[in-house]
Amino acid sequence: MLPCLLFEDDDLLVVNKPAGLNTHAPSPYAGEGLYDWLRHREPRWAKLAIIHRLDKETSGVIVFSKTQASNRSLTEQFTRRTVRKSYILLTDRPIPQKELAVRTALIRTGAKYASRPPGSGAELAETHFRPLLAADANKLIVIPPPNLHSHLSGSWIRAGGRNLMEAKPLTGRTHQIRVHATENGFPILGDTLYGGTPAARIYLHAAEIILKHPVSGKEMSFRAPVEAAFLEAPRGSGSATEYPAYLASRMALTDEDLSDAYCLIHGAADGWPTWHVERLGKFLLSQSDRTLSAAQREELARLMKILPTCGAYHKILTRQAQRTPLPEACPQVVLGDAAPERFVVRENGMQFELSLSEGYSIGLFLDQRDNRRRLLTGHIAGGFPLSEEVSQPTNLPAEGITKPKPRPVIEILNTFAYTCGFSVCAAQAGARTTNLDLSKKYLDWGKRNFALNQIDAAQHNFIYGDIFEWLRRLGRKRRMFDAILLDPPTFSQSRESGVFRAEKDYGSLVTAALPLLRRNGVLFASANAASWRSANFLICLDEAIRRAERTILQRHYVPQPPDFPISRSEPAYLKTVWLRVQ
C-alpha cells in the first residue's frame, strides 16, 4: 500500500500527488511522471488514463480512470464542469478578509498566462477565494500533524507566519489559480513565475475533489492530506521540527514497512547542488566532493530527528577513487552512532547486507530499486511481463480433470552481478540465476544476501572471472537464458579483456551476450555514464541487436526512480531499458 494512495476500486485510482513530480513525463528521457510510474508498477494499473492534471510543484488529489467506461464518464464530468475542486494556497502577502470571486479571460504570453477582460475572445477562467478560518483547521488533515493552535491568528489561519487561503476553480484553465492570486495581490509562496517569494516549492495543494462515481453514479468526495512541509517549511528557521519539502515526496512513494533504503537529497534537484544523501536503514550517508558545510551538517541533524536514524556518515568523492587507500575511501561518522561493520536494510520487502567500511562500495545501488522490483514481481511494464510463458490447462481424459501445466523455471544470467541484488529478487520470484562477476568477494557477499532472504544459494550459480571470457565459455557450452542483465560499471579492467569503457565497449558487450539469449527472451541494459546521451545509448543497443540479426519486439525505457529526480540543474545520468528480443 503506497502512502500516496487515497482510494482504489475497479474503476478509479485516486492519489495524493507529491510536489516536485510531474503528472506525466514531459519528454521521452525525462523522469517518469506519477502517471507513468504508477501505470508500469502494477498489472492492474496498466490501463490507467489521465483525466486531469496538476502542475509539477502542485501537490494533492488527482484521479485516474482504470477502464474505458470510467474514462468516458469522468471526462464528461470534467467537460461539463460538474466536478468540484478545492485547493489550499500559502502566501506571504496580505489577503482579503472575505470571499473574492475572480472571472477573467486567460491568454498565454510566453511561459506565463495573463488575464484579459471577459468577452475578449480568450477562454474564460473563474476562481473563488476565501481565507481559511480557525474553524477550518480540521479540514487540513495534516500528516504528520503539527500543532495547529500555534498557527491560528485572528480569524484566519496563519502557517509559519504566512496566510492560508482556499481557492475553488470553477473552470479548469492552465495556471488559473496562480494567475488570479497574483493579479489580486497575494501571489502563491514559491511561485516566482508569477511574482511569488522564492521558496522550496510552490505552496499550492489540491485538497479535495468531488465527483460522481463513473459506474454507481454516487457522489464521492476525495480529500488529500496536507503535508507537514506545507505548513512548517516556510518559517525558514532551520529548526529540527521543520519538515523538509523534498522529504514529503519520498514519503509519499515509499512504503516504510517494505523499504528503508532510498535517496533523500539528490543534489541541485532538491535544492542542494553537488550534495547527495541516502537513507540506509538506521543510518544516513552523505556524499559530496568536499567536507560538510555548516548548513549541510545542520540538515543532516534535522533529518536524523525526523527519521528513525541513529547515525550519519559523510564520504568525500574523488576522481581518483581506485587509487585512494581503503581507509580514506570509506565514509566517516559525522553525527550520532557508528554503524556495525555489516548491517541490513529493507527494499521492497527483501533484505540486503550493507557495509560502510568497504570504501566506495556499500553493497547496493539504490537507483536500481525499481528495476529489482520488476524482477521480483515479473512485471516489467504495462503489457510487458518478464516471461511470456502463461500456465495453460492440460486435459487428462483418464482422470476427467483439468490441471494447469507447471510454469517452466526462468533462467536468468546476471552479468557484473556485484552483490547479486537483481538475482536475489529474481530468485525470490522463482527464477534460477547465474551470477558473473570479476570479484569473488562480492559474489560471497551476494550469497549472504541470498541467505538473508532464506533462499538456497546452492540452487544458483556463482561464477568468478572475466565477463567476456565467461560469455564465450557459456556460449561454447550452448547455455541459453530467458533473461540477461547487463549493468556494467562505467569503467572496469581485467587481465583477460583489458579496459572496459561503457560508451566505447557497450556494443561489444551486447554482441557477446546475445548468443546466450533465447528467442523472445528479455535483455536488460543499464548504463550510468552521465555524458552518454540516452538516445545514443539506445542507438548503440539497436545497432548491436541488428548486427546479430535479431529483432526487438518490445521496449520499455526506464529513467531514474522518483527519489533521484531529474531537472535542468541535475540532469539524468542513469539509463536503463528492457528489451524483448526475437
The pLDDT tens digits of the residues spanning 136-182 come to 777 777 766 555 554 555 567 777 678 899 999 999 999 999 999 99
- Which residue type does 492 have? S
Domain 365-389+405-581 has CATH 2.40.110.10: no
353 SS3 class: strand
Alpha carbons 236 and 499: distance in angstroms, whole number: 49
The x, y and z cell numbers of residue 296, run together, are 549541510
Report whether 97 contacts 133 (CB < 8 A). no
Give the closest residue to 467 by CA, choosing from 423, 436, 507: 436
Q: Which residues of the chain have pLDDT under 70?
A: 143-155, 160, 232-242, 319-327, 389-407
Give the distance between the most distant pair of CA atoms in the chain: 84
Topology at the third CATH level for domain 5-235: Pseudouridine synthase (3.30.2350)
* Cβ neighbours around 82 below 10 Å, total: 12
Q: Mind spelling out the 3-state secondary structure of 283-303?
A: EEEEEECCCCCHHHHHHHHHH
Kindly report, residue by residue over 335-392, the tens digit of the pLDDT. 999 999 999 999 999 999 999 998 778 999 999 999 999 999 999 999 999 998 643 3
Provide CATH code, domain 254-346.
3.30.750.80
* Cβ neighbours around 12 below 10 Å, total: 22
| Cross-strand bridge partners of residue 557 | 577
Alpha carbons 540 and 554: distance in angstroms, whole number: 17
List the domain boundaries for the chain. Answer: 5-235, 254-346, 365-389+405-581
Alpha carbons 246 and 38: distance in angstroms, whole number: 20
pLDDT > 90 in the chain, percent: 76
* Cβ neighbours around 337 below 10 Å, total: 12
Predicted local confidence at residue 148, as pLDDT = 55
Predicted local confidence at residue 396, as pLDDT = 38
Q: In sequence order, what E strands does 481-528 have?
A: 481-486, 491-494, 498-501, 517-527
Predicted local confidence at residue 236, as pLDDT = 46
